[in-house]
Amino acid sequence: MSAISPSRPRRGRRKRRHLPVRGLVVAALLLLAFLLGIAFARTLDERPDRGDLVTDVRTLTPLQQQPPARTVTETVTTP
């Protein structure tokens, strides 16, 4: 019997050069997520409490009033 040649060329082993780069990218993304979490937590801690009441007192001055309109009263008598 004769040896049958494969119809597709055989792939070589996967290069391992990409593995350290991928690991560094994953580590950098995890570090970024961790730092963003810390920043978010600090932001929540530094916001003011809602329990403090603030009262604002102002004195309002009245507007200048117009004199009342002239009122005319008519009496009608029937004959």
pLDDT, tens digit (0-9, with 9 covering 90-100), for 21-44: 999 999 999 999 999 999 999 988
Q: Which of these ranges, 13-22, 31-40, 53-62, has the smallest mean pLDDT? A: 13-22
Cα 42 to chain centroid, rounded: 16
Q: Which of these ranges, 12-26, 34-48, 57-71, has the smallest mean pLDDT? A: 12-26
Q: Which of 26, 29, 28, 10 is nearest to 18 (CA)?
A: 26
Cα–Cα dist 27/2, whole Å: 52
Name the pTM for this structure: 0.41
Cα 32 to chain centroid, rounded: 19
Alpha helices in the chain (DSSP H): 18-46
Higher pLDDT, 74 or 2: 74
What is the rounded (10 degree) CA torsion for 43, 46, 51, 53?
A: -110
